[in-house]
A and B are shown apart, each in its own frame.
Chain A
């Protein structure tokens, strides 16, 4: 396999960026109209305008503190601008917004083929979309020519195994399952062992949804992490936290708490094909210093895309 000889490789392309755009622009259209209206006939940034921008940003779940910072930033820079057109102010807002993920962006680790099997642990609260995301990831990795193994370590929720099994079949990859209520760590351990024995490139570990306040469940996750590491020293190579794009300010809490128990290396934001704007990611990314890796824009197996900060921020403000 020539592919694997490359030290690092980029796995994803933007499959259908239009879909993100349609999703994001549905209400962002409204948002942009608002800004345009706001600026009509106004050459200065007054309180009314600031209020409107504040509403737009807060309504995107960016959070009031960060909204204030972004507006202050933009105001400061706007002062030095000669051209005080709406577009210039929007650009300032975009620029200051981008700062909150851009630093982390550079940290996006691409698949490292020298570490094999490359183990990816998927974690998150209940209903965030972990299992669906794994199905999509599996397909994408397999399409990239990799040998993918799915590990069903959500042994708690009713029919979680069955759900993942369907996704594994759709993606055309092998899945390791044990009975309900089996110890998730032991399923993970066996999967990694199996992957080593059978020369797999990637292991995707699905875990049960858990609220970050449930200490015992968080400990369980920590144990799984330790067990995997014991089996394979470089694993898990990545731990991706899945965040529902509808999530409000609690998203930050989720990220902070999960970080205490596992080493989060990236975020996946799901359900961005609705009207929710996913603005909480700015706080999450900047505060726990992790990149956003992928976004989910639908239930289809191909509806997973690379995260691109410029496109994301553009989609917030542009038509």
Chain B
């Protein structure tokens, strides 16, 4: 996650907040610190310099006598500048209204192109389109096999032929898509170095042959200063339409996104956050800027929840909570829903305030697996009425779930506490309020 840069920026910002007014002098101290923060985050040297210049100019030109504190003022200016650099609005993927939409995926070796192609195919399929994956990486051993496996996993056909020329594969895939009635063609290309002239010619040729609706440049978020060079070279050759930022589920600060955005001026369209095939998200510049400033990623969390949280399920749950009938079956359903939404730790880290506090807490997603196993080993009757769980039943459950009797007891105790908490909340009318408040309800 991008918490480190947030922390450092915050410490830089605190200095400013502690001071009464923005003067040229106290701004210059903070600005210098922010510059270091950016460089530490892999923002390109020149981009960082530009950024700093803009920020200081704006900060100095602003009336600091207004009602806001200097800290708020500089936070806002930095946020605005960051957002501006990252692109000021969300950029949707273009679709071709008059024929198949063709998406060409390019990038350096190991940036995550093939995995991204699988994710994109899955997304299109979920949106009711008919995608086709095309395996044009004829160089890396088993790259075609990898795409085929991914295609199988997401239930999307993969086009590949025994062929020594990627151009021919790309060309033939268009006809194949027509025959199979596929409306969206995703072409996975080999990873290549921007200085490899022969390979760059190949990708330019493929572009000319298939005339793609969109060309996406995939970049590893851990990339350092050289990101500007590779991105610029790819952009000069194929004039790509958008950027895909991968491996954002690590702790890289993602500063290269800022650099690339600044140098090629193309929007970042997706961010990719994991090895699961649905860990792909539209990219929202404001959020990355917010995340950098440690404000958490509330919108992202809410949206993620929305996509996965079955509305009926939610209403049912509320009713049960209201009537105090929340049982182990409901609990199990909740756990599975959380798992669908991603890992517990990634969910938590997106919540403002939590990001910093939980950093060292080391949330163990395995704990959920244990709980799930224990509940799964209960009979229906036991799930509905935990009171029947005597010693021998507990022992059976522990054995059946591969846990210890202590684990079972702990869960039962926690569940009991949860039920009594729900009872208290009901007495205070919490859930009545919740039902009336649609915002809380993910509706």
B146 / chain A contacts, CB cutoff of 8 Å: 157-160, 162-163
Q: From B36, which residue of chain A is reached at the shortest CB distance?
A: A64
Contacts of A59 in B (CB 8 A): 44-45, 225
Q: Which residues in chain B, 19-48, are within 8 Å of chain A measured between CB atoms?
A: 36, 39-42, 44-46
Given the complex, which residues of A lie within 8 Å of B36, measured CB to CB? 64
Q: Type the 1/0 row for A139-180, where 1 means its CB is closer than 8 Å to any CB of B.
A: 000000000000000001111111101110000000000000
The answer to whether B250 and A212 touch across the interface, beta carbons within 8 angstroms, is: yes
Task: Tell me which of A55, A63, A158, A279 contacts B153 (CB under 8 A).
Answer: A158
Q: Answer whether A159 and B145 are a contact pair too, CB < 8 Å, given A274-B194, A274-B230.
A: yes
- Smallest Cβ distance from B349 to chain A, in angstroms? 10
Q: How large is the interface on A (under 10, 10 to 19, 20 to 34, 35 or more residues)?
A: 35 or more
Give Cα A216 to B275, complex, Å.
14
The residues of A that contact B111 with a CB separation of less than 8 Å are 127
Could you count the A-B residue pairs with CB atoms below 8 Å apart for me: how many are there?
154
Within B360-376, the residues touching A (CB, 8 Å) are 362, 364-366
Most chain B beta-carbon neighbours within 10 Å: one of A26, A162, A215, A250: A250
Collect the chain B residues with CB atoms within 8 Å of residue A167's CB: 141
Q: By CB atoms of chain B within 10 A, which of A158, A159, A161 has the most?
A: A158
Residues of chain A within 8 A of B44, CB atoms compared = 59
Cβ B150 vs Cβ A158 within 8 A = yes
B362–A247 CB distance below 8 A? no
Most B Cβ at <10 Å: residue of A61, A127, A276: A127
Given contacts A127-B109, A159-B142, contact A248 B195 (CB under 8 A): no
Q: Which of B133-155 contact A (CB under 8 A)?
A: 139-143, 145-146, 148-150, 153
Bound CA–CA A277/B229 (angstroms): 11
A216 neighbours in B (Cβ, 8 Å): 364-366
- Give, as a whole number of angstroms, the nearest-CB distance from A210 to chain B: 9
B224 touches A126 (CB 8 A): no
Q: Which of B252-260, B283-291, B301-309 contacts A (4 or more CB under 8 A)?
A: B252-260
Within 8 A of B (CB), among A227-272: 244, 246-251, 253-254, 271
Give per-residue flags for B213-228: 1 if the beta carbon is below 8 A from chain A beta carbons, else 0.
Answer: 0000000101111110
CB pair A246–B108 under 8 Å, yes or no, is yes
Say whether B142 contacts A162, CB under 8 Å: yes
Tell yes or no: A92 within 8 A of B by CB: no
Contacts A126-B112, A127-B112, A253-B251 given; does A163 touch B229 at CB 8 Å: no
* Beta-carbon contact of B45 and A248 below 8 Å: no
B230 contacts across to A, CB distance below 8 A: 246, 274-276
Whole-angstrom CA separation of A254 from B247 in the bound complex: 13
| B400 interface contact, C-beta 8 A | no
| CB < 8 Å neighbour of B224 from A163, A214, A246 | A246
A64 to B275 alpha-carbon distance, docked (Å): 32
Q: Are B142 and A250 in contact (CB under 8 A)?
A: no
A280 near B224 (CB under 8 angstroms)? yes
The yes or no answer to A105 lying at the interface (CB within 8 A) is no
| A255, chain B: closest CB distance, angstroms | 12
Query: Residue on B with the closest CB to A169?
Result: B141
* Chain B residues whose C-beta falls within 8 Å of the C-beta of A187 in the assembled complex: none
> A244 — which chain B residues lie within 8 A by C-beta?
110, 220, 222
Residues of A contacting B149 in the complex (Cβ-Cβ under 8 angstroms): 158-159
Q: Which residues of A contact B (CB under 8 A)?
A: 23, 26-27, 54-55, 58-61, 63-65, 125-129, 156-163, 165-167, 211-216, 244, 246-251, 253-254, 271, 273-277, 279-280, 299
Q: Which 9 A-B pairs have the closest CB atoms?
A: A248-B224, A127-B110, A166-B141, A248-B42, A159-B146, A162-B142, A163-B142, A158-B149, A276-B226
Given A55-B45, A250-B222, A276-B226, 4 other A-B residues pairs in contact with their CB atoms under 8 A: A125-B247, A158-B145, A160-B146, A163-B141
Q: Name B's A-contacting residues (CB within 8 A).
A: 1, 36, 39-42, 44-46, 108-112, 139-143, 145-146, 148-150, 153, 193-195, 220, 222-227, 229-230, 247, 249-253, 255-256, 275, 362, 364-366
What are 15 A-B interface contacts by the 8 Å CB criterion? A63-B39, A126-B110, A127-B220, A127-B247, A128-B110, A158-B145, A166-B141, A211-B249, A213-B249, A216-B366, A250-B253, A271-B110, A276-B226, A277-B226, A280-B224
